[in-house]
């Protein structure tokens, strides 16, 4: 059984469309929306292709109509793009986001899977990187062979006792200094962390066509081309 694992697509359709993998089952670990310019095709792709999907914090915010406050870093980019998400998504796409569960448990080929966007303790919002000690605490009383997570936009996998923690990274907005789209393949007992080039210029051209502040467009250009924000972009904008 060949399993495609994707997360943190963030409305970046050219990045998602670049993934050309054979797979039997697709898992999506949340955050289809916010930041990028193409939420509708990304949500529709998930509706058609994802067997087991969960809700990310951005899916939750968009589906529930939650406004964002903040003028620094990614919070600022969320604030300026969220109204565009509400305009771009139709009733069917919004309903799909609303119905995504916070967690999912299932078994494939005798292996027990748990999907959460953040951690088992806090499925929506907790960030944990590749830290075996912290993950050992989060996995206490968790009965699963695979715990698949997203949220950090950084790829990793590690084994804690008999449980594998897998983060496929971000398809649409990597934050590890590598701008290529990130995802993972589980093929039997083998895990592949994969990267693929995509036409970043197409995403940026669409960003430039939107009614966004020049500051946001500059920040997006740095994020998409460098795989992270510049240090000064993380600071509050002067009054």
pLDDT digits (tens, 9 = 90+) for 148-164: 999 999 999 999 999 99
Task: Encode pLDDT of 103-148 as tens digits.
Answer: 999 999 999 999 999 999 999 999 999 999 999 999 999 999 999 9
The boundaries of the domain holding residue 26 are 2-102+168-234
Reported confidence tier of residue 92, pLDDT bands at 50, 70, 90: very high
* Assigned domain for 20 exists: yes
pLDDT of 32 above 50? yes
Q: How far apart are CA 7 and CA 162, in angstroms?
A: 23
Contacts of 122 (CB under 8 A, 6+ apart): none
Q: How high is the pLDDT of residue 238?
A: 43
Q: What CATH number did the domain enclosing 87 receive? A: 3.60.21.10
Distances (CA, A) of 223 to 4, 21, 36, 43, 220: 25, 25, 11, 22, 5
* Assigned domain for 163 exists: no
Regarding predicted confidence, which is higher, 238 or 199? 199
Q: How high is the pLDDT of residue 233?
A: 72
Q: How many CB atoms are closer than 10 A to CB 159?
A: 11
* Assigned domain for 108 exists: no
* Assigned domain for 33 exists: yes
Of 10, 53, 49, 55, give the one whose Cα is nearest residue 33: 10
* Assigned domain for 145 exists: no
Task: Report the greatest alpha carbon distance in the chain.
Answer: 57
* Assigned domain for 58 exists: yes
Number of domains in the chain: 1
Report the predicted TM-score, pTM, of the whole model to 2 decimal places: 0.96
Reported confidence tier of residue 201, pLDDT bands at 50, 70, 90: very high
Q: How high is the pLDDT of residue 14?
A: 98
* Assigned domain for 220 exists: yes
Beta bridge partners of 163: 160
* Assigned domain for 142 exists: no
Q: How high is the pLDDT of residue 235?
A: 60
pLDDT of 237 above 70? no
What is the arithmetic mean of pLDDT over 21-33?
A: 98
Q: Which helix (H) or strand (E) holds 221?
A: helix 214-226
Q: What percent of the chain has pLDDT over 70?
A: 97
Q: What percent of the chain has pLDDT over 90?
A: 95
């Amino acid at each position: 059984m060949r399993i495609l694992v994707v997360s943190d697509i963030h409305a970046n359709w050219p990045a998602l469309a670049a993934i050309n993998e054979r797979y039997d089952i697709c898992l999506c670990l949340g955050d289809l929306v916010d930041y990028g310019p193409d939420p509708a095709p990304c949500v529709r792709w998930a509706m058609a292709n994802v067997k087991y999907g969960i809700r990310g914090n951005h899916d939750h915010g968009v589906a529930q109509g939650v406004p964002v406050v903040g003028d620094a870093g990614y919070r600022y980019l969320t604030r300026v793009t969220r109204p565009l998400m509400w305009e771009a998504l139709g009733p069917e796409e919004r309903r799909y986001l609303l119905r995504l569960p916070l967690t999912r448990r299932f078994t494939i080929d005798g292996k027990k899977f748990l999907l959460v966007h953040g951690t088992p303790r806090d499925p929506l919002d907790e960030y944990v990187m590749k830290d075996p000690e912290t993950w050992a605490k989060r996995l206490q009383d968790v009965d699963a062979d695979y715990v698949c997570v997203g949220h950090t936009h950084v790829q990793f996998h590690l084994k804690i006792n008999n449980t594998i923690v897998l983060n496929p990274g971000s398809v649409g907005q990597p934050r590890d200094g590598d701008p290529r789209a990130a995802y993972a393949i589980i093929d039997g007992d083998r895990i592949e962390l994969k990267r693929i080039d995509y036409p970043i210029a197409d995403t940026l051209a669409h960003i430039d066509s939107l009614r966004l502040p020049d500051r946001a467009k500059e920040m997006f250009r740095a994020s998409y081309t460098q795989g992270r924000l510049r240090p000064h972009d993380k600071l509050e904008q002067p009054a």
